Structure 1
Amino acid sequence: MSSTQLKPTLGTLHLWGIAVGLVISGEYFGWSYGWGTAGTLGFLVTTLMVAVMYTCFIFSFTELTTAIPNAGGPFAYSLRAFGVGGGMIAGMATLIEFVFAPPAIAMAIGAYLNVQFPGLDPKWAAAGAYVVFMTLNIVGVNIAATFELIVTVLAVLELLVFMGVVAPGFSFSNFVLGGWAGSDTFSFGALSGVFAAIPFAIWFFLAIEGAAMAAEEAKDPKKTIPRAYISGILTLVVLAIGTMVFAGGVGDWKALSNLNDPLPQAMKTVVGNNSNWMHMLVWIGLFGLVASFHGIIMGYSRQFFALARAGFLPAGLAKLSRFQTPHRAILAGGVVGIASIFSDGLVNLQGMSLTAAMITMSVFGAIVMYIISLLSLFRLRKTEPNLERSFRAPGYPVVPAIALVLALVCLVAMIWFNGQIACVFAGLMLAGAVFCRIVLGRGAARAALASNA
């Protein structure tokens, strides 16, 4: 096997575990920041809009994933559709999404552990999580994917347990009180809150597309990936709506709107501080955070790997370890993530907490990647009509167009409400493009020298 060729070992269940596991931490934390912006009812509207976008997007994205099974995922599709420029946009946007999401999740892991161990510094706990799960990813993809599947199943079960335990304390009147951006009635300000809360609704589903980066490691990807994606998005929509509604109806939802551990705090209002249910939620709830954290490390490493293998990043990042995993790519993303964790207090964007700022930055990367991927779908349908497509987007062109329009609405709204972070994101995209051009130029120069040797 080539030193830059990944080994296919993953089946449908593993891929479902990766698709859901990448996302499921979004059900445990992060989304409640949207309540502070839009209120419970406003944020419910935002979430339903985003759920429609993601459902249409996944049905469309699956066509690309099965037609072009490549570890680069969106990078590979956009490169094929639009050439080097399109590949750079997709590759850099995906890297930003997958490199800035893990620090937010790691900080939530630290917050959950701090509930049990008040003397534990959440930042050091977050850094320790990086060390543990980078190591697990380096040891081997089959071991990593099996672990991902186990913790994902436990995390799904725990969300169902949470809903069941808090159900006796649920009151719809609690959920709707002040539900429109702090008001009981809909207004222009409430509509503004609906759009401002978009990043936190996207957090419910962010990174499900990362399963595409395991396509080279999938057995029979043309069959296994569609099954994993479709069952995955349905699982997540049900869990997202259920978790949010039940958490918002057990007491004063405003007290949960800016926390990294809203579910334990919601459960406290029903069962108290010392209930066994409460301790179980904290410990098993960690599995949801770990599932996403671990899975996104797998995702960012494959993106670094694919960009390096194609010559857009230094070739050393495409080297595989003796376990046939891209260990240098895993470590590269970890360095950025750990540095981000300890930047809290040094960087202040939009007056947000570090977690909220990391979520918003990651979402910018995701939305840009969704847009270029959907454009690639339309482009390849036109330029390569004979490309083998074992799965075709249903309702084409209407379903992909719905996803594209909603993604553009989300991007415009995010730029409007998050101008500072948008500027930083644009700067990172530009710097990444310049760096890729330099690396590509050196690669071309080396190739020219070799051909004349």
Structure 2
Amino acid sequence: MKNEAQQEYFEKRSLKQGTVGWVLLTGLGVSYVISGDFSGWNYGIANGGWLGLCVAFVAMGLMYGCTVFGIAELSSALPTAGAGYGFARRALGKTGGFVTGLAVLIEYVCAPAAISTFIANYVFELGILPEGVPHFAVVVAAYVIFIAVHIFGVGEALKLMLAITAVAAVALLVFAVGMIPEFSVDRLFDIAPAAGGSTLLPFGVAGAIAALPFGIWFFLGIEGVPLAAEEARDPRRDIPRSIIFAMGILVITGFCVLLLAAGGSGSQVMGTSTAPLVDALNDADHPSFALFVNVAGLFGLVASFFSLIYAGSRQMFALSRAGYLPSVLALTGSRKTPALSLLLIGVIGIVLVAVVQDGDALINMAVFGACVSYALMNLSHIVLRRREPQMDRGYLTPGGVFTTTLGLLLSCVATCSTFFVDVAAAVAVLVMFVLGTAYFLLYARFHLVANAPEEEFARLAEAESDLR
């Protein structure tokens, strides 16, 4: 590209800079995940019992903690909208960068699709729609409304996300107040053991392994905070502290929900519930609390749905701007939002819901993609610590490569665990990786844009290496 053509190319593919401070970034981190407290996690009880899911919560919380520390360091050194894919591009080369970006994109397409089905469940639980309205209509309406808000502008969207997340946090507090008096340890272990199981682990060790993907649901999406790097005011300082602070909040809210929902109404009830917090409060004879949490719980689901669409569009934008995907998807209009990426995310999500028709399977698909990306991001941290110790880092991971090595190992275990839950869903995502990698190797790698930020980082690294 000539200089003028390059300038025009990136002007048409740029985000609105300096619109997001650390408070909004922290809110973004929580909003990515908070829906996991309201629905989806409880299916892990049906697979592994309460203790199995509790072990999954601790193990996957450790995996996320290690990964978040590594991401915090990398985002302080390489603050671009590509985030995880950008880190892997520098550490693992073009193919490694693409596979990481594809994994993140799969996560951020499948996760909001799953959440849209939970939103429909909560809406129908309220009984406010006319008889005969299909669940799928609610899914489509959710995509249309919230993609339109995103297209309007990032500052407005993130402020709305923060307000919605605050309402959801109040709902979790009300839930805790209603359930604490009902808590009983015996209710945690009220599932009758299956063959080879026990009171503590009713479905045995295999059940505990199958619960791992649902432990992930308490944290899925937190790694998306660095995707806002190019729209942040001070990304080198604000992104590390925001993602770590958000992770701390999610550990507290997740464990409270896990303990009080099953301990208040029983693991047997929770394992099959489509709206677990509402059902737990109704079972405990708190109908007014249940109504409030049902309404406010929608805010939690919407917060994550809303923010994950944001994350997916930024990942698609970054991959497209650099030429890994068709560059037209990175076009931004006068509002500086990637409208075409947002629309495509919505279309794919709606199609996924129509085809899969199972929120549980969509969770497993999102988790598979997420865990592959975590493994590659942890590996990227290890490689860059070894190969580029002199890199300017605004934050250093506690424990260094030991921390991210543990995150890498746990990510690999978590990826394998998805086959214990739904083999068809896991294989479907595996096929996506194969097809995506073939597309990159046969076409996209020959059409990369040299001056895209992620490519520039890689070229600078190569130049510095030649000087040493």
TM-score by length of 2: 0.89
SS of equivalent residue, structure 1 residue 260: coil
Equivalent of residue 433 in structure 1, options 432, 437, 454: 437
Listed as ranges, the matches of 1:37-436 within 5 Å are 37-117=47-127, 119=131, 120-178=133-191, 184-186=198-200, 189-272=203-286, 275-344=287-356, 354-436=358-440
SS of equivalent residue, structure 2 residue 87: helix
Asked whether the equivalents of residues 11 and 224 of structure 1 are also in contact (C-alpha less than 8 Å), the reply is yes
Q: CA deviation at 1:192?
A: 1.3
For the residues of structure 2 that align with 1:221 and 1:153, how far apart are their CA atoms?
23
For the residues of structure 2 that align with 1:216 and 1:92, how far apart are their CA atoms?
20
The aligned counterpart of 2:35 is 25
Is 1:3 paired with 2:17? no
Asked whether the equivalents of residues 35 and 257 of structure 1 are also in contact (C-alpha less than 8 Å), the reply is yes
Judged with a 3 Å threshold, the aligned counterparts in structure 2 of structure 1 residues 268 and 82 are, in CA distance, closer, same or farther, namely same
Deviates more, 1:374-383 or 1:330-339: 374-383
Asked whether the equivalents of residues 13 and 228 of structure 1 are also in contact (C-alpha less than 8 Å), the reply is yes
* Letter matched to residue 415 of structure 1: F
Q: CA deviation at 1:163?
A: 0.8
* Letter matched to residue 85 of structure 2: F
* Letter matched to residue 289 of structure 2: W
Judged with a 3 Å threshold, the aligned counterparts in structure 2 of structure 1 residues 221 and 245 are, in CA distance, closer, same or farther, namely same
Considering only aligned residues, what root-mean-square deviation do their CA atoms show, in Å?
2.1
Gaps of 5+ in 2: 1-9, 452-468
CA deviation vs aligned residue, 1:342-384 (integer Å, no higher than 9, x gap): 2246xxxxxxxx1110000000000000000011111111222
> Percentage identity across aligned positions?
34
For the residues of structure 2 that align with 1:111 and 1:9, how far apart are their CA atoms?
34
Asked whether the equivalents of residues 146 and 306 of structure 2 are also in contact (C-alpha less than 8 Å), the reply is yes
For the residues of structure 2 that align with 1:232 and 1:10, how far apart are their CA atoms?
15
Q: CA deviation at 1:171?
A: 1.5
For the residues of structure 2 that align with 1:180 and 1:225, how far apart are their CA atoms?
45
Judged with a 3 Å threshold, the aligned counterparts in structure 2 of structure 1 residues 382 and 261 are, in CA distance, closer, same or farther, namely same
For the residues of structure 1 that align with 2:384 and 2:109, how far apart are their CA atoms?
28
For the residues of structure 1 that align with 2:361 and 2:191, how far apart are their CA atoms?
25
For the residues of structure 1 that align with 2:260 and 2:13, how far apart are their CA atoms?
47
For the residues of structure 2 that align with 1:444 and 1:123, how far apart are their CA atoms?
38
* Letter matched to residue 382 of structure 1: R
For the residues of structure 1 that align with 2:268 and 2:307, how far apart are their CA atoms?
31
Asked whether the equivalents of residues 311 and 439 of structure 1 are also in contact (C-alpha less than 8 Å), the reply is no
Asked whether the equivalents of residues 68 and 244 of structure 2 are also in contact (C-alpha less than 8 Å), the reply is yes
* Letter matched to residue 27 of structure 2: G
Q: CA deviation at 1:185?
A: 3.4
SS of equivalent residue, structure 1 residue 45: helix
Q: CA deviation at 1:65?
A: 1.2
Asked whether the equivalents of residues 49 and 203 of structure 2 are also in contact (C-alpha less than 8 Å), the reply is no
Q: CA deviation at 1:402?
A: 1.5
Q: CA deviation at 1:180?
A: 6.9
Q: CA deviation at 1:397?
A: 2.1
For the residues of structure 2 that align with 1:446 and 1:28, how far apart are their CA atoms?
43
Q: CA deviation at 1:416?
A: 4.8
CA deviation vs aligned residue, 1:301-355 (integer Å, no higher than 9, x gap): 001100100101111101002110000000011001011122246xxxxxxxx11
Asked whether the equivalents of residues 41 and 179 of structure 1 are also in contact (C-alpha less than 8 Å), the reply is no
Judged with a 3 Å threshold, the aligned counterparts in structure 2 of structure 1 residues 332 and 238 are, in CA distance, closer, same or farther, namely same
The aligned counterpart of 1:349 is none
Gaps of 5+ in 1: 346-353, 448-453
Judged with a 3 Å threshold, the aligned counterparts in structure 2 of structure 1 residues 66 and 445 are, in CA distance, closer, same or farther, namely closer
* Runs of 4 or more consecutive aligned structure 1 residues displaced over 4 Å after TM superposition: 179-184, 186-189, 444-447
Number of corresponding residues = 437
Asked whether the equivalents of residues 32 and 307 of structure 2 are also in contact (C-alpha less than 8 Å), the reply is yes
CA deviation vs aligned residue, 1:198-250 (integer Å, no higher than 9, x gap): 11110110010011111111111111111211111110011111001100012
For the residues of structure 2 that align with 1:372 and 1:165, how far apart are their CA atoms?
42
SS of equivalent residue, structure 1 residue 390: coil
For the residues of structure 1 that align with 2:193 and 2:90, how far apart are their CA atoms?
44
The aligned counterpart of 2:456 is none
SS of equivalent residue, structure 2 residue 265: coil
For the residues of structure 2 that align with 1:290 and 1:445, how far apart are their CA atoms?
35
